[in-house]
Structure 1
């Protein structure tokens, strides 16, 4: 947990520093050129900067230890702050980009000198690529640990800070390409429609990313189960215990980024006495935590084979 939290914190810090510098550069280039797409990209990067600040809070809050009032820890606080970050992207990035782009299409004027805009786009692409590489590197390490591909893991992971950085950096790279295409189209045709359309497209892209992240965090907040491969592995560990006859019911829940709660009703063989059941439960607890370091709470309800309900 501590290692993952540290990796996520470093990933968020890199992304935040890159977004702040990029937002300022895009703003200057947008004002100089009069490009709606550049101003939308500036709003995009500014929204991403706010997002990174909220994700820093999410990582910090989620990492606080359990206490008497919060016996299961503060992991779900990370989901709340991550959802607020996604809302910031929705309002600050997508909203501005779409409305400003539509205004440019209807009332835009010919663009001014675009050279600074192209330079800023190129530099921004390099900086965003470095930020994306940091997030993707962490994603690949985590994927290798659980035997999944990076793309599948980013869909399943409860590390919402990592997911947000990967999604937003991907959207940023695509947005830069869209902005460049819009600028080139307007420069070649002399029409501001291309620039305005690029701004709208960037807004729609941010809308999709924001809604995806909001849905993901909402699912985690209302008690999302652990990913299927983890549930399968937990069941296998339980069944492998020689005293166990069957797993009657298995429930899991993500209670924080990478943190899993396990509750299971386990049928023990009839010949296993009370002392044997207690020893087996202790052994299962140890084996589950050893096999899946993300498991932080284990509750086992024993039942003998002839008492299955």
Structure 2
């Protein structure tokens, strides 16, 4: 629902900015219009990502469909780069040699001001949620947003942050054009907005690629998972632990463990399956595979991490 509201807001902003760009002949407003249209398209891909990634695992996809979220978020990030960044930069470069006065700048200021309030409200929500989750994990907000597997939260956070900075750039470039009388400032604003969107797109593209090809879990998460496994009465020690993201906040666990007691092979196999089912009952676990440790393998020490 949050993504849907953001989509509708971006569409309204894009229409308003497009009209303002036509009325004012401002290159910066054209860049902001392209920015909002790119964001609106991005929200569509994020909606698809949430829907496709939420499907439960089946026989064809034993690790679930969660990676769909990373795929569609990657497509969305490329959309920001092409529809937002490249269009803004190219238009700004073109306007450098064909600069003209910004007409009726008051219209531009009004549209930019309203957009700033809307984007500010959305960014505040994303920031509050990110800070809360970061605090729960003992991490800084910036590190959490970069490292989280919640690709939708990261996209919204960076999009809203870029939107606020872009609005300031656009308003400042139009103001500089008015104050100095140099029309090139407006074109420079368009280029600056394009560069900003390019940086954001590259960050989002890089993170989604890392989750698609496989990235190691953060040490803090690895320590929490290991401690949680050792807290189970059946597990005495762990000699191997592999944690892999298979979707937003969805994990695939492989571990070699030493079970308490000295039961027969048949009983041990049954106990392993029972422990696996209990672990998979956790909302963050998609699939878990446990096997027995060899006696001479060293134990992993999660308390020291």
TM-score (normalised: structure 2): 0.90
User: Quick one: distance in 2 between partners of 1:237 and 1:286?
Assistant: 15
2:121 to 88, 105, 130: 130
User: Quick one: distance in 2 between partners of 1:166 and 1:27?
Assistant: 24
1:106 to 94, 97, 106: 97
Greater shift in the superposed pair: 244-253 or 89-98: 244-253
User: Quick one: distance in 2 between partners of 1:137 and 1:275?
Assistant: 51
SS at match of 2:293: strand
Q: How far off is 1:137 after superposition?
A: 3.6
2:154 to 156, 163, 167: 163
More helix per residue:
1
Q: Does 1:196 align with 2:166?
A: no
SS at match of 1:233: helix
User: Quick one: distance in 2 between partners of 1:115 and 1:163?
Assistant: 34
Q: 1:275 and 1:240, CA in 2 relative to 1: closer, same or farther beyond 3 A?
A: farther
Aligned to 2:292: 302
Paired residue total: 299
User: Quick one: distance in 1 between partners of 2:297 and 2:33?
Assistant: 64
Aligned to 2:219: 228
Aligned to 2:241: 250
Q: How far off is 1:271 after superposition?
A: 4.1
Q: What's the Cα RMSD here?
A: 2.3
User: Quick one: distance in 2 between partners of 1:264 and 1:250?
Assistant: 4
1:31-59 alpha-carbon deviations (Å, 9 max, x no partner): 11111001100000000000001110110
Structure 1 residue runs of 5 or longer lacking an equivalent are: 1-9
1:96-144 alpha-carbon deviations (Å, 9 max, x no partner): 1111111122221122120100010100101111222233343344335
User: Quick one: distance in 1 between partners of 2:17 and 2:10?
Assistant: 10
Q: 1:288 and 1:223, CA in 2 relative to 1: closer, same or farther beyond 3 A?
A: same
Q: How far off is 1:188 after superposition?
A: 0.6
TM-score (normalised: structure 1): 0.89
1:119 to 110, 117, 141: 110
Structure 2 residue runs of 5 or longer lacking an equivalent are: 300-305
User: Quick one: distance in 1 between partners of 2:133 and 2:66?
Assistant: 19
SS at match of 2:101: coil
The question of whether the paired residues in 2 share the 8 Å contact of 1:18 and 1:131 is answered with no
User: Quick one: distance in 1 between partners of 2:39 and 2:8?
Assistant: 10
